[in-house]
Amino acid sequence: MLMRKSIYTIISSIFLLSALSAGPTVYLYIINFDNVTQESSIDWLGQAFVDMLNAKLVDIGKLRLQGQDDLEAIMNNRSLLLHQPRGSRNFLLLGKFERKLDNVDVSLQLVDIATWEEADRRKLSGNYNKISKLNMKLTSTVETMLTPFIPIDKKKKTVYPEFSVDKPALKKPSIYTDSKAVSKDINSAIEELEKSMDIAIGARDIAKPNETFKEGEEWVLDLGSSAQPSYNPENDANTLMLVNVLDDLMASPYNVEIQKPIFEYDEKNAKIMNVSISIEYSLKGHVIADMLKSLPYTGLKQDGSLMIFDFNKEKFNFSDALHEKIRFGKYRAVPVISFLNEVNKPAVLIVDTPEAAIHQLESNNVHYVADHRFSPLIDFTIGGWALQVAMESVKIPVTYHFKTPIHTADSIRRVSLKFVPESELPFFLQSLL
């Protein structure tokens, strides 16, 4: 027991001293750049930009380059950040590119993984036929973005001489008979220590008893009455956090920017006014940050602007109400744009839905958008074992057009937009018509 404690103390001291001596480090996670226009002929640049940066930045001191696998490991187990040298920073480099004739435009975003906040943003462009120059410009830009965060080694000068410690002379052991047994015990102790440390940081699961038994020439593993994970009281805390975040996501996930509508006289009919209004839909800025920082997700995938979170039932208790809400799409909502008159009553309604059943509701002041220009930026999928949340961090600009009599256009004083659940939309419209 004393031997194991001594070994543990020695190895812990070594780890601590090495972490302190290493000093703060910047970890840069570089993943494939996103091809914005999806032009297949330049898809190769997505990986090429990553290779260029890895080749040029590898020699920078206090900078450690990481890839997609390293990012997923950190996202799946945030406790790994605790094992980095004190004061270290972790940044994710997101890149997008598009080709315009012979030019390639590149957008760069540096994101602090600890807070998921933007640390810097840059844009650059170069000639598609001069990739080497574009490479140099890209590397220089990334170096500029990282400069404020990379620690600089500054050794303090002193007028005093450095202390030196005399090393004691090594004493030759006088007993050799039990050396093999002692060496074996030390190796076993170190293996047990490594195992316990791996379990503590989540790198290794706790060994479970083998429940497989043999019946004649057949091996059987008894799964009990149900193969699905049962309710676990220890998951209540995680479940409460998940439900609170999901309720917020389902109730109000979107941010909307409404531009002032444009009124123009119709060229063919002087009594008709052509009206257009531009609206931009996007997810609220804190939505993805809340998912990353507050919930113990079991998996994370990122493909350009799309992020997919997985929540395993081993860590959460999914209620029947949550199953029903997701499976029947009760979280889905439709944008309804109301043009209100002097008495705050809707003079014109725009309903952005392709549902034919909704279009059967007849009214002169309701305009339906059959091609469904608004697209949901968040979706939920649930099964017996896991819940999946997919979110896309893009902006959807939409311009709606409609015709209305001049006297109706003159009565418009306000514009409002409300997301109405799909299941409640018929009743909502009937109450207004």
In this predicted model, what pLDDT tens digit does every residue of 384-397 receive, in sequence order? Answer: 778 888 888 888 89
At 2 the pLDDT is 45
- Domain match, 241 and 131 both: no
331 located within any domain: yes
Residue 155 pLDDT class (50, 70, 90 cuts): very low
222 located within any domain: no
Which of these, 224, 207, 334, lies nearest to 281 by C-alpha position? 334
At 108 the pLDDT is 92
At 30 the pLDDT is 92
- Domain match, 250 and 382 both: yes
Average pLDDT over residues 84-88: 83
217 located within any domain: no
At 209 the pLDDT is 52
Domains contained in the chain, number: 2
Question: Which of these ranges, 135-144, 241-250, 267-276, 353-362, has the smallest mean pLDDT?
Answer: 353-362
Q: How many helices (H) and strands (E) does the chain have?
A: 11, 20
CA-CA distance, 322 to 4, in Å (whole number)? 49
- Domain match, 409 and 285 both: yes
5 located within any domain: no
- Domain match, 240 and 357 both: yes
Average pLDDT over residues 12-41: 71
368 located within any domain: yes
Average pLDDT over residues 103-114: 88
- 260 CB contacts (<8 Å, ≥6 apart)? 277
CA-CA distance, 326 to 316, in Å (whole number)? 16
426 located within any domain: yes
Inform me whether the pLDDT recorded for 192 exceeds 90.
no
Domain termination residue (choose one: 146, 161, 193): 146
Inform me whether the pLDDT recorded for 234 exceeds 60.
yes
- Domain match, 121 and 255 both: no
Top pLDDT among 246 and 296 is at: 246
Average pLDDT over residues 222-236: 63
Tokens of 426: 């018929």
Inform me whether the pLDDT recorded for 18 exceeds 50.
no
Q: How far is CA 186 from CA 8, 122, 384, 403, in A?
A: 11, 54, 46, 85
At 215 the pLDDT is 54
109 located within any domain: yes
Q: What is the pLDDT of residues 394-418, one digit of tens each?
A: 888 999 888 888 988 898 999 999 8
- Domain match, 303 and 423 both: yes
Tokens of 40: 């297949």
Tell me the percentage of the chain whose pLDDT exceeds 70: 71
Q: How far is CA 320 from CA 286, 328, 329, 426, in A?
A: 28, 12, 14, 26
CATH of the domain at 49: 3.40.50.10070
Domain termination residue (choose one: 106, 125, 146): 146
Domain termination residue (choose one: 146, 169, 184): 146
Inform me whether the pLDDT recorded for 151 exceeds 70.
yes
Q: What is the Cα 52 distance to its own chain's centre?
A: 25
Inform me whether the pLDDT recorded for 23 exceeds 80.
no
Average pLDDT over residues 308-312: 85
pTM recorded for the entire structure: 0.46
At 211 the pLDDT is 52
Question: Which of these ranges, 30-34, 164-168, 422-426, has the smallest mean pLDDT?
Answer: 164-168
Top pLDDT among 148 and 290 is at: 148
Inform me whether the pLDDT recorded for 13 exceeds 70.
no
Other CB atoms closer than 10 Å to residue 127's CB: what's the count? 12
195 located within any domain: no
Residue 35 pairs with which residues in a beta bridge?
97
- Domain match, 142 and 237 both: no
Rounded mean pLDDT of the chain?
76
- Domain match, 383 and 256 both: yes
Which of these, 380, 377, 392, 252, lies nearest to 322 by C-alpha position? 380
Average pLDDT over residues 182-192: 59
For 414, list phi and psi in degrees, rounded to 5: -145, 160
- Domain match, 237 and 141 both: no
- Domain match, 142 and 241 both: no
Residue 186 pLDDT class (50, 70, 90 cuts): low
- Domain match, 255 and 358 both: yes
Inform me whether the pLDDT recorded for 270 exceeds 70.
yes
Q: Give me the domain span that covers residue 341.
A: 233-432
Question: Which of these ranges, 126-135, 162-171, 279-288, has the smallest mean pLDDT?
Answer: 162-171
Top pLDDT among 408 and 75 is at: 408
- Domain match, 249 and 108 both: no
